[in-house]
A = this chain, B = another copy of it.
């Protein structure tokens, strides 16, 4: 059982701890094939929440889609990459959903934020 991915319809700014931690920046352009994409995205977000080392996620799509997920360390990212449903999604992504993508793994060294009063 996975807890509901309450944020999946209104993803917001992730509440991450003090650096260092890791970011996976996934930038993509879509094909016109939508088959199964929304369901898989929702499933993956709900599973990611339960992955060890998961810290948060941010997503937006216009001409490109950008998904940034945050993780405590590289081992957590490797485990998520190898997770079974995610493996299937990666295969479908290349076969059907994505015209192109770039995936970048980056160590967050500094961070700051702002909330309007």
A54 to chain B, nearest CB (A): 16
Q: Is there a chain B Cβ closer than 8 Å to A11's Cβ?
A: yes
Q: Are A13 and B60 in contact (CB under 8 A)?
A: no
Count of A interface residues, CB-CB < 8 Å: 43
**Interface majority SS (helix, strand, loop, mixed), chain A:** strand
Chain B minimum-CB-distance residue to A61: B60
Q: How many copies of this chain does one complex carry?
A: 2
Chain B minimum-CB-distance residue to A113: B102
Q: Are B100 and A13 in contact (CB under 8 A)?
A: yes
Q: Is there a chain B Cβ closer than 8 Å to A88's Cβ?
A: no
Bound Cα distance from A113 to B13, whole angstroms? 25
- When distances are taken between beta carbons in the complex, the residues of chain B under 8 Å from A107 are 106-107, 109
Say yes or no: A60-B64 contact (C-beta < 8 A), given A16-B102, A114-B101.
Answer: yes
User: Which of A22-30, A35-43, A44-52 contacts its partner?
Assistant: A22-30
Q: Are A105 and B108 in contact (CB under 8 A)?
A: yes
A81 to chain B, nearest CB (A): 11
